Structure formats: structure tokens, C-alpha cells
Homo-oligomer: A and B are copies of this chain.
């Protein structure tokens, strides 16, 4: 999943010699679809607020019971959004008693961030 080509329009660092995959053919149908799924999960204000609420909570984790009020949405709506974020691989869900706790999937998020990182900074 190399989207880095987005960002290297003026990158003087990489060449087809050192980073052939960045000069490869554009995204095929499959890759574009997969990537779009990730961006779709991020393309809603309520979901972004949920993510940022969780990320800025103590221990970077939060109980679903504390999320509905801050985002001003009903409990079913919040539950639905959290499910989508889990499905997209952005959040991990853990059951603790009758509460559902959510945290960022660090590996997955790091991978996305990496794919979106300008070519220079990880070469």
C-alpha cells in the first residue's frame, strides 16, 4: 500500500533506482478500493471526534458509555460508528464486564500514517 507517490511530486530524494515502488503504475482497482475504505472510515465528523476523544482520554482508551454525550449523538448511533471504526481496523474493542472499551489500533494506525508520510521522512 504505497500511497507515498502522492507526496513526492517535488521530492528530490527518491529516484526510480532507490525507490522503484514509488514510481510504479498508479493504484489498481483493488488497492484504490482498499485505501478508500480506510478514508471512508475517517470521513465523518462524528467518527473523527470519537477517535480524538479516545486518543485524548487517560491511557488513550475510553468506555463507550462516556462517548455518546460528548459527541451529541444517540447511543445506537455511537455504537454504530464505533463498530465501523473497528471494522476498518482503526479501533480495537475490549469487553470489560458490561462495558465496551475502545483504543486505537496502534499498528494499523501507524501503518496508515506511514503510508501517508511524505517520502522524505522515512527514507
Interface residues of A (CB under 8 A from B): 3, 5-10, 23-27, 29, 32-33, 35-36, 39-40, 42-46, 48-49, 51-53, 55-56, 60, 70, 103-104, 106, 109-110, 112-114, 116-118, 121-122
User: Nearest residue in B to A28 (C-beta to C-beta)?
Assistant: B49
| Whole-angstrom distance between the Cβ of A100 and the nearest chain B Cβ | 18
- Contact (Cβ within 8 A) B6 A52: yes
21 A-B pairs within 8 Å (CB atoms) are namely: A3-B52, A6-B52, A6-B104, A6-B109, A6-B113, A9-B60, A9-B103, A24-B56, A26-B56, A29-B45, A29-B49, A32-B46, A32-B52, A35-B45, A35-B48, A36-B44, A39-B40, A39-B48, A112-B116, A114-B118, A117-B117
